[in-house]
Chain A
Amino acid sequence: MLIKKAADLRESDVTPKETFLRRREFLAVAGSTAVAVATNGLGPVFTGTPAALAQNPAAQKLTNLKKSPFSTDEKLNSYKDITTYNNFYEFGLDKADPGKYAHTLKPKPWSVVVEGQCAKPGTYNIEDIMKYAPLEERIYRLRCVEAWSMVIPWIGYPLSEFLKRFEPTSKAKYVEFKTLVDPRQMPGQTEPALNWPYVEGLRMDEAMHPLTLLGLGLYGEVLPNQNGAPIRLVVPWKYGFKSIKSIVRVRFVETEPLNTWKQQQSSEYGFYANVNPQVDHPRWTQGSERRLGEFFRRKTLMFNGYGDQVASLYAGMDLRKFY
């Protein structure tokens, strides 16, 4: 299979972290100064604030990160945006809920059960999983099915590096993932908002695709709880709900897993869930999106802009039918 890189990006184009931090400080200061001059202090809603750079001082830092040619050079969303606006129904239905309530999640100790069609099933702990491959920073666009988007500096390594270790057999056509179920740690699970546990799945070629990331951190730190600590998927060409959080179970299977949102409403949410501006959600448009931090909507790109890399996975498929 031919894996193309993003045509407009080279390794050297990815700005080093120190520089982008300074750039954002500069932008935040310049932005608020300009706005202040223009409008006599019209407030921070129209700019980023320097405080938006604050991370969690208690969180474990992740260093020696490889840069990735797959990273975008678009403006990052702030740490604050990324950690206070989350769909993670295990902690409540409001997007502010996970940021408020996810402190009850205990990402350590944590282990992941691997089972199904593979030679090396077993239980693997997160400390070991973190070392299976060199950590990379991947700056990806995230497009939610609700038509908003962000740019997030993830940390992790290719999911393929993780899955290969367990030596999937030829019967492994799909891989299924499950989130933790524990209402004491995830208070939203006391309500049957969704069928717990949250389930997601990928076709094997999607799972092994180099863009598919096993997410272990963001903004230079281990994952905040509300973003799916300690281990999650990041599949940037699919709607956000495919990128399952706080994974405890990985199963290699022969048949297509029934993912949670498809169970919930199969007329609105499918298995593939590729970002596709030509196939609208039955109730709202997918042709455009609101990038957080911007006021006007922007056009949504086919496969969220990753078409050069992934379109070949779906050659010959009717994407209206397999939405």
Chain B
Amino acid sequence: MTQTQWRRRVFKPVAWLACLTPAAVLVYNGFQGELGANPVETITNTTGIWTLRLIVVGLAITPLRWLSGLNQLINYRRLVGLFAFFYGTLHFLTYFILDHQLEFGGLWDDVVKRPYITAGFTAFVLMIPLAVTSTTGWIRRMGGRKWNLLHRLIYVTALAAVLHYFWKVKLDATYPIYYGIGVAILLGFRVWRNYRPAAASH
């Protein structure tokens, strides 16, 4: 098989299944009655944390390419990003349907009044244009430059998602801080690469 065939027949399906696994486990555990005493909370927390994890994985792809020289990693970025959006959508819908019963008034009150919801909602909403423009057609229509600029919104989403997590925990902020450090390193790496002294760039 050629490299492209390997990617299409093996690596992409594997990545796709890996990204789908948390959702599959959730559904399986739901049928087994193993989501604990508060299934809604389990669903919310699981979909939320996988959104953040996949955002981090997506943000790691470009630095990994730089570090490893494995340029073909770029072929997986859209897949990871769309799965982040998939989990983010499930996370948002769980909250919007089960907490607010699809009432926009209550949702808006929360968005305005509760900083952790403001942050989470911002993170989610900013992912929508990225998901919409993720197709090859949109990249062509927008042109690479504009498209790249738009897709930097994921940086805002990542920071807002970490804040959302940090403000939500009751006592132990260890994990939100870990994710915060991870996102800071991945974004800092980009800043460093763009603004490093000229001497280092050669």
Contact = CB atoms under 8 A, between A and B. Distances in A.
B114 A284 contact: yes
Nearest to A81: B37
A66 to B, nearest CB: 28
Interface residues of B, number: 23
Interface stretch (A11-19, A38-46, A119-127, A303-311): A38-46
Interface in A42-67: 42-45, 49
B30 A43 contact: yes
Contacts of A290: 38, 40-41
B39 A45 contact: yes
Contacts of B38: 85, 95, 148, 290, 292
A296 B98 contact: yes
Contacts of B33: 43-45, 49
Interface residues of A, number: 29
A10 B154 CA distance: 59
B98 A42 contact: no
Interface in A158-205: 193-194
Contact of A283 (B30, B37, B40, B114): B114
A44 B98 CA distance: 18
Interface string B97-117: 011010000000010001110
A297 interface: yes
A249 interface: no
A96 B41 contact: no
B95 to A, nearest CB: 11
Given A295-B98, A297-B98, A45 B35 contact: yes
Interface in A240-270: 264
A84 interface: yes
Main secondary structure of the interface of B (DSSP, over half): helix
Given A84-B36, A297-B99, A193 B114 contact: no
Nearest to A269: B170
A80 B36 CA distance: 9
Given A85-B36, A283-B115, A283-B116, A193 B167 contact: no
Contact of B31 (A43, A93, A285): A43
Interface in B56-81: none
A93 B32 CA distance: 25
Contacts, number: 58
Contacts of B200: none
A45 B31 contact: yes
Contacts of A96: 36
A96 B37 CA distance: 9
A44 B38 CA distance: 13
Contact of B171 (A41, A93, A95, A284): A93
B168 interface: yes
B171 A193 contact: yes
Contacts of B35: 45
A193 B171 CA distance: 8
A296 B102 CA distance: 11
Contact of B172 (A43, A93, A146): A93
Interface in B20-60: 30-33, 35-41
A45 B28 CA distance: 10
B47 to A, nearest CB: 15
A277 to B, nearest CB: 14
A283 B171 contact: no
Contacts of A45: 30-31, 33, 35, 39
20 contacts: A44-B33, A45-B31, A49-B33, A77-B37, A80-B37, A81-B37, A84-B36, A85-B36, A85-B37, A85-B38, A95-B37, A96-B36, A146-B170, A283-B115, A283-B116, A283-B167, A283-B168, A284-B114, A290-B41, A295-B98
Given A43-B31, A43-B32, A283-B167, 6 more contacts: A49-B33, A148-B38, A148-B41, A283-B168, A285-B110, A296-B101
Closest 4 CB pairs of A and B: A44-B33, A85-B37, A43-B31, A81-B37
